[in-house]
């Protein structure tokens, strides 16, 4: 399982990040922040820069917005971590079971 080992604000909506597997790089989160209303206050670079690592650990902000380590990893590499692909493949079964029990 991937987790965020360290992260630091570079500028605007750029974050230098290192994952638990040693992979590191800079991620531009401006599109992500612009996409979600829950992240509206983070469009201000000063507020965006106030992120912290939560208990997962992954990036989180006091406004309640956070991003999964898997999502951040995918942004950096352009691919989904192998173990996460297995989880995604199982998701339709879970959704199907939920629908059956809610009926």
What pLDDT was estimated at residue 81?
Answer: 65
pLDDT tens-place string over residues 24-59 = 999 999 999 999 999 999 999 999 999 999 988 989
Mean pLDDT of 61-74: 93
Looking at every residue in the chain, the average pLDDT score rounds to 83
Which pLDDT belongs to residue 85? 58
By three-state DSSP, how is residue 76 classified?
Answer: helix
- What percent of the chain is predicted at pLDDT more than 70? 78
The matching CATH number, chosen from 3.30.2420.10, 2.60.40.1180, 3.30.2020.10, 3.50.50.60, for 4-102 is: 3.30.2020.10
User: Residue 2 has what pLDDT?
Assistant: 84
Residue 30 CB neighbour total at 10 angstroms: 14
């Amino acid at each position: 399982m991937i987790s965020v080992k360290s992260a630091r604000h570079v500028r605007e909506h750029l974050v230098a990040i290192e994952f638990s597997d040693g992979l590191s790089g800079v991620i531009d989160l401006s599109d992500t922040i612009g996409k979600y209303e829950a992240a509206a206050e983070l469009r201000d670079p000063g507020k965006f820069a106030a992120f912290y690592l939560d208990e997962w650990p992954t990036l989180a902000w006091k406004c309640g917005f956070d991003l999964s380590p898997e999502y951040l990893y995918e942004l950096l590499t352009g691919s989904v971590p192998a173990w996460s692909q297995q989880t995604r493949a199982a998701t339709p079964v879970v959704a199907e079971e939920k629908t059956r029990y809610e009926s």
